[in-house]
Structure 1
Amino acid sequence: MHISFLIHNAYGIGGTIRTTYNLAGTLAEQHDVEIVSVFRHREEPVFATPGKVRLRHLVDLRKDGPGYEGDHPEARRPATVFPATEGRYKQYSALTDRRIAEHLRSLDCDVVVGTRPGLNVHIAQQARRGPVRVGQEHLTLSTHSAPLKLTLRTHYPRLDAVTTVTEADAQTYRKLMRLPGVRVEAVPNSVPAPLVAPADGTGKWVVAAGRLAPAKRYDVLIRAFAKVVAERPDWRLRIYGAGVEKAKLRKLIDDLGLYNHVLLMGPANPLDPEWVKGSIGAVTSSLESFGMTIVEAMRCGLPVVSTDCPHGPGEIIDNGADGLLVPVGKTDAIAAGLLKLINDDELRKRMGRQALENAARFDPAQIAGRYERLFGELATRGTLRGSLHRTRGALLSSALRTTDAGRSALRRVRAA
């Protein structure tokens, strides 16, 4: 198959970009795969492009480059196809509307995959007939505004499939969205096996990673770790990531006197070498669309103590076997979960081994296989539908030819 992914900006950093590269690279072992980035703002992508995957862009935002288009007259006019209800709307314009439309109408492929709601709307409206049209949901339906949900309900029926990263979100789509004829399928994100040896469970470090954003609730994790330090001052916490909460979290660490125990490490890429320095992963989010960092930690041999927030964690962690699920926002419960693993070396190491084994189901080969089956079934369904349509047309044409009125009608249609 020739498979084409359409993504907001393949040159940035983030979970959607990372998992798109993982999936595209694995599919490219058997198929012809490209990633088309709407924007390009730097010379080289942050993540290495898999060898067999072609990467190209539609709009060049490299200010020092000869192809810079940020001052293009159309870039100053608002987008009319990319939905105004979508969070990235201000970055889109009449220029992106035109470039995306030209790309989709000229695209000669078997499958086209969108990776955010606004791009899925473009695909629904502008992709030519023939390719299987798939819209990926990397967040959750519940996080979208009511106007955006209405927009999706209007345009998504033209897609062949919508994929979500959790079964819980797939069930929400099936229940709340009216998408007749559209297949809604849960396919999780993929995480490759690390290139480093797994953690051995002896390092006295708890590791957390992700954007320093309010939804990640690192303030709760830091307060919980103050309780951990009171009992086990020999353990420390490393938090990797950057974001708007950095100054606030730094002040909290200082106020609690944890400057020797809680370290804000900044962003790191790759993260695998940092995960394996620790023995426990920690996630204290109030909301997760999936939980990439949970899987990353597990693939490095760490059991994860995670809040049981909606969607992701409960579908990843087998509570009590390869990690622990604790209530959202409950400092005492998070501290108790961490201390349970800190104070029991054998339990921590056993859970780490189980986490390593169980997380293999998120390997890119496993996830790519699920997408291959989905694409194949949708392509077959489209072929059968087209064949049935042609058969019905032939039967109708034959029937019309048997009457004078029918023959006259056929002549008028052909003349038109």
Structure 2
Amino acid sequence: MKISFLIHNAYGIGGTITTTFNLAGALAERHEVEIVSALRHRESPNLRPDPRIRLRPLVDLREEKEHPLHLRPATVYPESEYRYGQYSELTDQRIAEYLRTTDADVVVGTRPGLNVHLALQAPARTVRVAQEHLTLDNHHPRLRRVLRRVYPRLDALTTVTHADAAAYRRKMRLPGVRVEALPNSVPDPSLPPADGNAPVVVAAGRLVQVKRYDLLIEAFAAVAAERPDWQLRIYGKGEEHDRLRRLIDELGLYDNVFLMGAAIPMEAEWVKGSIAAATSNFEPFGMTIVEAMRLGLPVVSTDCPHGPAEIIADGEDGRLVPVGDRDALSAALLALVRDDDKRRRMGRTALENSRRYGPGPVVAQAEELFAGLVAARSAGRPASPPGGASRLLVSRGYAAKDAVHTALGTVMRSVRSGRKEER
């Protein structure tokens, strides 16, 4: 099966890029996979895709930033979408041409504006899958109206949480569109897990207001006061850096709290800690939560919409605290700092529970979804929810892979045979 991912800019840094590369790399073990980047701004991507994946850009900003068509506003890409200002009549044309000529069995869009192109312009022979990496409620009402109008043309829509999938089913009219939760996957770690002994709390992500690193620093002040040997290391870069630096100085935490800058990959930094922290007001999924757990760290997180509560089992592999509650955050951190046995036990549980986000279970679900959609398209049937098949795959994880692969082979042989007859 040939699978094509359409992404905003594969040459940058961000959660959507990471998760797309992760899923594409895992699928490349058995399928032909390409990543098509609407934009390109540098020679090489920050994250290196699997060498089996073909990466190709549509508009190279190094050479075409002043192209006459790139100076004209986009008319297909929705104006109410966050990235609209980076799109143009040139991107409209290049995306349309890519979709018109693709020979992929499945094209996967990775943000709403690109999903609009996919819904409107992909050929009838192609299975159209839209991914939602944010949430429905996070989008501007004008964008939601656009999506409500064009998304019925899709074959499937995937969200990263069950809560958001439920929101799409409840609030959008998408007859015949298969709506499923397909979580992000994290590759199997290449390093041994943390042992839970280091007096270090680790956080990672963009230094932006929604991540609430100010709250984390303030909460950590209580930890440093009681256990001055403990450190908080915050990895990432962003607009909040200077304000956070001033806060650290104002609280006298310059010997305990450190802004470490960006680290790619983060594996080697997670294992230097014993506890991970996530303090966002809003988190569509929580990629860093899974990354930390996959390396044996319990995670103290705010219970924000939507991801953390679907990842963390409160009291077993981490702690969930109310959004914005500094005192509750301090108490949760201190409980793990004070109790070595609990911290190590929860770390071992986090390692075990997070296996469900490994490539095996997630790719099995993706393959089941794609195979079912290709089969439905080949048979001329509309895509429709199969009543829990994906939930079965999630619960069985790796055990489901062989069954999926067998079914997938049968489907693809049938599709290829049909295409030969058409010729």
Provide TM-score, normalisation by structure 1. 0.91
Q: Which of 77, 80, 83 is matched with 2:78 structurally?
A: 83
Alignment partner, residue 289 of structure 1: 284
Residue 128 of structure 2 corresponds to residue 154 of structure 1: no
Q: Distance in 2 between matches of 1:230 and 1:70?
A: 52
Matched, 1:349 2:318: no
For 1:12, the equivalent position in structure 2 comes to 12
**Shift in Å, 1:386:** 5.6
Equivalence for 2:398: none
The aligned runs of 1:45-84 (5 Å cut-off) are 45-62=45-62, 68-84=63-79
Deviations 1:141-175 (A, max 9, x none): 11101000000001100000000000000000000
Q: Distance in 2 between matches of 1:130 and 1:28?
A: 22
Query: What residue in structure 2 maps to residue 407 of structure 1?
Result: none
Measure how far apart 1:200 and its partner are. 0.4
SS in 1 for 2:169: helix
- For residues 116-265 of structure 1, the aligned pairs below 5 Å read 116-265=111-260
Distance between the aligned counterparts of 1:131 and 1:222, measured in 2? 49
Mapped partners of 1:197, 1:6: distance in 2: 34
In the other structure, the counterpart of 1:380 is: 375
Q: Paired residue for 1:316?
A: 311
Matched position secondary structure for 1:203: coil
Find the counterpart in structure 2 of residue 399 from structure 1: none
Deviation string for 1:296-342 (max 9, x for gaps)? Answer: 00011100000000110000001111111111100010000001100
Deviation at 1:231, TM superposition (A): 1.3
Query: Which amino acid in 2 is paired with 1:140?
Result: T
Structure 2 partner of 1:325: 320
Partner Cα separation in structure 2 for residue 277 and residue 383 of structure 1: 50
> 1:259 and 1:231 mapped to 2: Cα distance?
16
> What amino acid maps onto 2:341 in structure 1?
E
Q: Does 1:370 align with 2:370?
A: no
Once residues 102 and 381 of structure 1 are traced to their aligned partners in structure 2, the CA distance between those partners, rounded to angstroms, is 25
Q: Could you say which residue in structure 2 is the equivalent of 1:402? A: none
Q: What root-mean-square deviation, in Å, do the aligned CA atoms of Structure 1 and Structure 2 show?
A: 0.9
Are 2:298 and 1:303 aligned? yes
Matched AA of 1:37: S
Query: Structure 1 runs of 4+ off > 6 angstroms?
Result: none
Residue identity matched to 1:288: E
Q: What is the CA–CA distance in structure 2 between the aligned matches of 1:129 and 1:354, rounded to whole Å?
A: 46
Q: Distance in 2 between matches of 1:59 and 1:365?
A: 34
Offset at residue 365 of structure 1 (A): 2.1
In the other structure, the counterpart of 2:98 is 103
Partner-residue secondary structure (3-state), 2:297? coil
Aligned to 2:21: 21
Letter in 1 for 2:331: A
User: 2:64 aligns to what SS in structure 1?
Assistant: coil
Rounded Cα–Cα distance in structure 1 between residues aligned with 2:40 and 2:224:
45
Q: Which amino acid aligns with 1:50?
A: D
Opposite residue 42 of structure 1, the aligned amino acid is R
Residues in 2 aligned to 1:235 and 1:73: alpha-carbon distance in whole angstroms: 56
Q: Which deviates more, 361-370 or 338-347?
A: 361-370
**Structure 1 residue 51 displacement after superposition:** 1.7
Mean Cα displacement is larger for which, 374-383 or 101-110? 374-383
- Structure 1 residues 380-414: Cα deviation after superposition (integer angstroms, max 9, x where no partner): 22223269xxxxxxxxxxxxxxxxxxxxxxxxxxx
Q: Unaligned 5+ residue runs, structure 2?
A: 383-423
Residue 156 of structure 2 aligns with an amino acid whose one-letter code is A
**Matched residue, 1:31:** 31
Q: Which residue of 2 aligns with 1:40?
A: 40
Residue ranges of structure 1 left out of the alignment (5+ in a row): 63-67, 388-416
